Amino acid sequence: MLSPMRQVKHTSDQNEPLSYTYADRHMDQEVSKYAIPATGMDARVAYQIIRDELNLDGNPALNLASFVTTWMEPEADELLKETANKNFVDQDEYPQTEEIHQRVISMMGRMFNAPKECDPVGTCTVGSSEAIMLGLLAHKWSWKKRREQAGKPTTNPNIVFSADVHTCWEKFARYFDVEMRVVPLKKDQFYMTADQVVDYIDENTCAVGCVLGTTFTGQIDDIRGINDTLLKLKAEKGWDIPIHVDGASGGFVAPFVYPEVEVDFRLEQVRSINTSNHKFGLVYPGIGSVVFRDRSDLPEELVFNINYLGGSMPNYSLNFSRASSMVLLQYYNFLRLGQEGYRRIMTNIMDNAQYLEKKLIETGYFELLNESKYLPTVTVRLKDRELPTKVVYMLSDLLRQFGWIVPAYPLPANADDVHVLRMVVKENFSRDMAEKFAADIVKCIKKLGDEAQDFEKYFEQQKGKGRVC
């Protein structure tokens, strides 16, 4: 039988009641790309054209490069559609949405173990970048106030963080005119320790940034050690230097996978924490949040009481209008999963990451940079250190042919001779996918070898050629 599309005569009449999507005239003409077209088109056709074009994108389910959530339940998808038309900033018009926002922040304050005597406050943002900027800005402001009260100059604030922070830390320093003091990585140590930090801080340090799960290797800084050092300095010199924890990736992993490790408000100097709810909060992009340990850590001058559309709304953000959906989806996940659900999902993905590690080691071609202990990321380099670094980039390219998206990159300065492949294991990455991935990467390696006719000979020839990329 012919498909309905074939049965319909091609028509260019827009008013034709029975015009099938692929038979519309727009399908045999170029659509407008750079200027708004003079006339419109049928809704189904516009939808189909865009949908078809997007088929050329990678498949989010196979995107092991990104930490960002690529799957939510159908009920969450429904809620998303139903709430996309509510402007999050219109608190006066949508008071219940704001009420839910406050609940989300309160739940996160508790998740980060704010002490009973504290009153944690915060806000949801579009992601961790905005959240980090808001957190650091508050600390810069508080530092300035303390210095003014002490009659000391306020001209040279600095922030201290390690070389493997996300680029948004550097952005903050430049946008908000704060000196950045970058603690370099060591050869085989991809996190920051208390001993290293001490050399970089002084009375002008507004905050120390500690990463809970780095983008590059998934490691965590020695947050407890750095806290103890700062407490000592407070007692000895009177410098009250806060820690801002960048929990973009680890913020939802730590509380459920290694709750006994103190990386949160249980540590006195940890005054603010950001997380990307669109990562392991398991919500679609873009939502992040910043939570302060106590109301007193957020200077009240930074909270704007805006008179807008007939009401007064407290607002601490860099942006203004956006959809309410993601905040509501975070609340959905909290209710739907509970702590038990988050614990199960996080434990599963950590187990699957470790399984993938094992599979990659078994291929004989890779070694781990570090174990997936703190984040479900698998970071490997070539076992044969004499091979040119180009090979990991070639593998990254070849994996694309199988649909897998896997980044290859060098580590930051001082460790930049190390070139890695990194896979982020997310909720939808099953054991079977791990098996398939490991099999595919072996095929890619063999392909590289076959193209050079003799695999062993090829790699033998490449040895000692040094860095190619």
Ligand X SMILES: Cc1ncc(COP(=O)(O)O)c(C=O)c1O
What does the binding site for ligand X look like in residue numbers (CB under 6 A)? 67, 127-129, 166, 168, 211, 214-215, 246, 248-249, 276, 288
Tally of residues, the chain:
469
Smallest distance, Å, CB 340 to ligand X? 26
Of 287, 283, 302, nearest in space to 135 by CA: 302
Q: What share of the chain is helix, strand, coil (3-state, %, to 5)?
A: 40, 15, 45
CB nearer to ligand X: give 39 or 167: 167
What residues are paired with 205 via a beta bridge? 158
CB nearer to ligand X: give 23 or 212: 212
Smallest distance, Å, CB 49 to ligand X? 29
Instruction: For residue 326, report the phi and psi dihedrals to the nearest 5 degrees.
Output: -65, -35
Ranked by CB distance to ligand X, the top (closest) residue is: 127
CB nearer to ligand X: give 166 or 419: 166
| 183 vs 163: CA distance, rounded Å | 6
Largest CA distance in the chain: 87
Tell me if 105 sits within 8 A of 124, measured CB to CB.
Answer: yes
- DSSP letter for each residue of 199-240: TT--TTEEEEEEEBS-TTT--B--HHHHHHHHHHHHHHH---
CB nearer to ligand X: give 26 or 278: 278
Smallest distance, Å, CB 149 to ligand X? 32
Smallest distance, Å, CB 116 to ligand X? 29
CB nearer to ligand X: give 129 or 396: 129
CB nearer to ligand X: give 288 or 388: 288
Tell me if 434 sits within 8 A of 355, measured CB to CB.
Answer: yes
The residues, ordered by sequence, that sit 6+ positions from 452 with a Cβ below 8 Å of its Cβ are 458, 461
Tell me if 325 sits within 8 A of 79, measured CB to CB.
Answer: yes
Smallest distance, Å, CB 246 to ligand X? 5
Instruction: For residue 73, report the phi and psi dihedrals to the nearest 5 degrees.
Output: -70, 155
The answer for 373, left when phi > 0, alpha when psi is -120 to 50, beta otherwise, is alpha
Smallest distance, Å, CB 259 to ligand X? 20
Smallest distance, Å, CB 39 to ligand X? 39
Sheet containing strand 377-382, strands side by side: 366-368, 377-382, 419-424, 408-410
CB nearer to ligand X: give 21 or 66: 66
Smallest distance, Å, CB 276 to ligand X? 4
CB nearer to ligand X: give 226 or 387: 226
